[in-house]
Amino acid sequence: MANLVIMPRQGQSVESCIITTWQKKKGDRVNEGDIIFSYETDKSAFDEPAQFSGVILHTFAEEGDVVDCLAPVCIIGEEGEDISSLLGQAAPAEEKKEETKAEEAAPAEKAEQAAAPEATKVEGDRLRISPRAKNLALKTGVDLSAVTPTGPHGRIIERDVNAALDAGKVGTTAAVEDFLRGIVPEKKEEAEAPASAPAAAAPFADVYAYEEVPMSNVRKVIAKSMHASLSEMAQLTLNASFDATRLLAYRKLLKERGEEMGLSKVTINDMVLFAVGRILPNFPDINANLVDGKIRRFAHANVGCAVDTDRGLLVPVITCAEKKTLAEVSADAKRLAGGAREGKLSPDEMSGGSFTVTNLGSLGVESFTPVINPPQTAILGVCCTTNRLKADGMVYPAMGLSLTFDHRAVDGAPAAKFLKELCTALESFDLLLAK
């Protein structure tokens, strides 16, 4: 009996997924448990195993297609089996897909028509060309007669010259100077071009060579979120530092003796996450989201920890951090970071955060401006330690913290108080553990 394979719903907030790879093709036989296709949400990647054995009789999507959750992806059955009823069930989805493709194709056709204007013309004694494009043309010897102008009123701009260079349209500097003076050379057949032309083009083409890499689905989501964060919020950053002597001493003790107590590999970042979890409940407008003009104050400190992955920046969330021990926070942070890098976290594990911590200290960054993760109202940046002098001449390791907050929801004084209390807690981390 033939069966529909549908796109799973990975988390309540996920509406669609993108098919990245078909591991099995139409006509292939699959056994129960075989991976049929791989797909990703805006934050994670998954493999879809077959729930039954058979032959892939039909596919409804191609690699790179975005498929709605619970929509059909393929049909598995036996050779020669009638699947018309299943195709009928999936017809609305297929029609929607075709309409989408048609809508996307229409602008593309118009773009193709618009992309083939007439060859560059000299109007009277004046060639419409920008100063930057003119300088580049004289420097590279581009064939100006082959340049397609895309600037306003048929003007040649710098990108037009670069496009011609990429296509190998190179002549001589003298020809460029003549063309700029309004002397248009007679166009000859390409076959009559001197054999040395390709060789002359190579040096210039190499200089401006580049590779275009399409943005991944995750990168697009990050770009959209960060742009919305900076364009829609009133962001302000406060910078402070604290004496990290006792924090570093406790970290050293953990490295030397922690394994005996099950506290091995606790990092400075784990300790910061622990302190943030304890301090956040005291500042409800910072432990919050701003949604549709309303401040959503969280009952628990759900602390997001920014993780750098091959697929982009992901922010898994340590829930109820204020209730967890240092060992539990450390274990959660490592599990979530590992899952994020391997693409094995569910979207639910990366949503619901009330605050985020991002750490660039290990990369030697002394101060920076972290960007808020919408719809949160604040984010903490952790910086590296630098040696400073006290009034008595003693040198101490100062660790920097950068707090960015949304001034629409949080005023400067409460934000400064949060930062001060956090610095005090980290400065006396051994005492914080006693609370």
Q: Which sign does the torsion angle of CA 241, 352, 336, 68 carry?
A: negative
- Which of 28, 166, 227, 407 is labelled catalytic? 407
CA 360, CA 379: separation in Å to the nearest integer? 13
The CB-based long-range contact list for 197-201 (8 Å cut-off, 24+ gap) reads: 197/170, 198/168, 200/141, 200/170, 201/165, 201/168, 201/169, 201/170
Average the pLDDT over 427-434 and give the result. Answer: 92
Cβ atoms of residues 413 and 420 within 8 Å = no
Quote the pLDDT of residue 13: 67
Q: What is the CATH number of the domain that holds 405?
A: 3.30.559.10
- Would you call 407 a catalytic residue per the annotation? yes
**Residue 277 included in any domain:** yes
- Which of 28, 166, 348, 411 is labelled catalytic? 411
Please give the C-alpha separations between residue 29 and each of 8, 81, 170, 199, 279, in angstroms, as whole numbers. 21, 14, 53, 52, 56
Final residue in a domain of this structure, among 207, 227, 248:
207
Same domain, 185 and 328: no
Same domain, 141 and 93: no
Quote the pLDDT of residue 92: 55
CA 84, CA 49: separation in Å to the nearest integer? 24
Picking from 355, 350, 346, the residue whose alpha carbon sits closest to that of residue 313 is: 350
Same domain, 195 and 274: no
- Would you call 65 a catalytic residue per the annotation? no
CA 118, CA 418: separation in Å to the nearest integer? 63
User: For residue 239, what are the β-bridge partners?
Assistant: 402
Residue at token pair 């040096």: 203
**Residue 124 included in any domain:** no
Name the band, by pLDDT with cuts 50, 70 and 90, for residue 159.
confident
Maximum pairwise Cα distance, the chain: 89
**Residue 122 included in any domain:** no
Residues 6+ apart with CB under 8 A from 336: 305, 307, 316, 317, 318, 345, 349
Picking from 413, 385, 417, 388, the residue whose alpha carbon sits closest to that of residue 401 is: 385
Same domain, 46 and 185: no
**Residue 236 included in any domain:** yes
Same domain, 106 and 19: yes
Same domain, 248 and 327: yes
**Residue 121 included in any domain:** no
**Residue 120 included in any domain:** no
Quote the pLDDT of residue 203: 56
**Residue 126 included in any domain:** no
Average the pLDDT over 22-44 and give the result. Answer: 88
Span 61-117, pLDDT tens digits: 888 788 888 899 999 999 888 888 888 766 655 555 554 555 545 454 444 444 444
Domain that includes residue 138, residue range: 131-207
Cβ atoms of residues 273 and 357 within 8 Å = yes
Angle between helices 173-180 and 131-140 (to 10 degrees): 150
Same domain, 223 and 366: yes
Q: Is the pLDDT of residue 346 over 80?
A: yes
> pLDDT higher for 149 or 125?
149
Q: Is the pLDDT of residue 350 over 80?
A: yes
**Residue 123 included in any domain:** no
Number of domains present in the structure of the chain: 3
